[in-house]
Structure formats: structure tokens, C-alpha cells
Amino acid sequence: MAIAARGLGKDYGPIAALDDVTLDIPAGQHVVLLGPNGAGKSTLLRLLATLALPSAGTLTLLGQDATRGDRLALLRRLGVVSHQTFLYDHLTALENLVLYARLYGLGHPGRVAASALEDAGLRGRAADQVRTFSRGMQQRLAIARALLHDPDIVLLDEPFTGLDRASGDALESRLRSERGRRTCVLSTHDFDRGLRCADRVVVLAAGRLVADRPAAGLDAARLLALFREATGQADPGGRA
């Protein structure tokens, strides 16, 4: 199992953001997290990224207890993408990637960064500051940054938010090409894209896991019905 969560919970003061979530994700599987706003998707991803400590339960990532032990070793095998880019506006595309290549201790940071830019189709803009990039280009660069160190697990929090159609399609095909190669956990409001990227659908509502199905055999209409039944909410929620 790449990810094994047992009874995972997280409280923020009096409110449980996540409650008793048990989830096993085998290596290479792509899981899409669905749920209304505030269902706990982001909280779950934060716990998986070891950015927050669980208040209850255990979390094993890549066979290692995520709450103790060598956190830095674990971080080397995790990649995170959010709808925020993490990129520095006043650094060039290349400088951003080289910075992260160095932070991850990769050999030949310049070469690694250049080839990642090539893959992202941004070679022509390598020397331009990121603030001059369109939203779609920034997101491509953000994904290149997250995959720079070839992580085993990739966590994506609402990566489609704010992307135009073409950039969304590009991200989607990128994710589909990663199927089987890396473990991916993706949260989104976009049912269609979510279904196309994932092997498995997990629905959260009010901090709890309310549905867990294989993606195969589900279409958007069935998924919406499942979502309504599981969450009691009529629509997938706003675009956060």
C-alpha cells in the first residue's frame, strides 16, 4: 500500500475537520476525492502531505509511519500541487525549478530543471519571470515543480481551479499518463475531469468518508446520483 490511513481524524478546536477516515490506496492507483466545500478534502490532503499532524488514527505512507520517524526522507517521495502555484513571481521559470531541484538535493539541478521545462513545453520561456506567465503556464510549471524529484505519491488539491479549458485538458492528459506510474490523490469539484483521471472515487461529507467506488462503470450522471445520495447535497459545490 502506498497510503494506509486508519481511523484518521483532525480537529481544529471544537470542530472536527476530518473524522475516522480509513483508506487504503495501492501504489500506482489514482484516487479522486469529491465532496462539498468543507467536507475535509483539503484537510485529508494536508494530512497525507504531512503538513498537519492527525488528531486521531494512524497514517502510513510508503510503509513508513507518517507521524514519526524520518519525515525528510518521506518528503523526498511526495509531490504536492494545489491551485496555488508555490512559485516565486520574480524568479524566472528556470530559477524556480533550479531552486527546488537544489532544495530536493538533486544532482545536476540545472540539467534536471531544463529537461523538466522541456517536458512542460516551456523551454522558450525559461528565462522569463513567472509573473509574466498565464495561469495555465504557471500551473504547468507548478506541476513540473512538483514532479521534479520524481515522487512516488502526488497529491493534488483542486488543481483544475482557475484553469482555462485548454490548460485543464493538458493537465488531465498529463495526469492520465501518470496512471500506474505514481500514486495520485486528487481533489476536485469537476466530476467529469475527476472521473477521467481516476481509477477510484472517494466521497467525503462533513469530514467523513461516505462513499468509495471504483471509477470504472461510473459516468457523470451516476456519479452525481451517488454524490447526492452520499452527501445529501444537490450539486457538487462551488468552485472554491
Nearer Cβ to other proteins, position 29 or 161? 161
Least Cβ distance, residue 123 to other proteins (angstroms)? 22
Q: Are 201 and 218 in contact (CB under 8 A)?
A: yes
The residue among 130, 105, 107 whose CA lies nearest residue 117 is 130
Among 5, 31, 87, 147, binds other proteins (CB under 8 A): 87
Other beta carbons within 10 angstroms of residue 45's beta carbon come to 21
Least Cβ distance, residue 42 to other proteins (angstroms)? 5
What are 189's three cell numbers? 469539484
Least Cβ distance, residue 121 to other proteins (angstroms)? 21
User: Distance between CA atoms of 62 and 151, rounded to whole angstroms?
Assistant: 11
Least Cβ distance, residue 208 to other proteins (angstroms)? 8
C-alpha triplet 55, 61, 66: angle, nearest 5°: 40
234 binds other proteins (CB under 8 A): no
| Torsion angle (degrees, nearest 10) of CA 200, 43, 74, 195 | 20
Q: Which of residues 88-127 bind other proteins (CB under 8 A)?
A: 88-91, 95, 99-100, 102-105
73 binds other proteins (CB under 8 A): yes
Least Cβ distance, residue 220 to other proteins (angstroms)? 22
Q: Which of residues 158-197 bind other proteins (CB under 8 A)?
A: 158, 161, 187
Q: Are 223 and 208 in contact (CB under 8 A)?
A: no
Phi, psi at 2, each rounded to 5°: -75, -40
The residue among 231, 235, 232, 226 whose CA lies nearest residue 195 is 226
231 binds other proteins (CB under 8 A): no
Which of helix, strand or coil describes residue 63? coil
Among 30, 46, 182, 193, binds other proteins (CB under 8 A): 46
44 binds other proteins (CB under 8 A): no
Summarize as ranges the residues that interact with other proteins (CB under 8 A). 11-17, 19, 37-38, 40-43, 45-46, 49, 51-53, 72-73, 75-76, 78, 80, 82-91, 95, 99-100, 102-105, 129, 145, 157-158, 161, 187, 206-208, 240
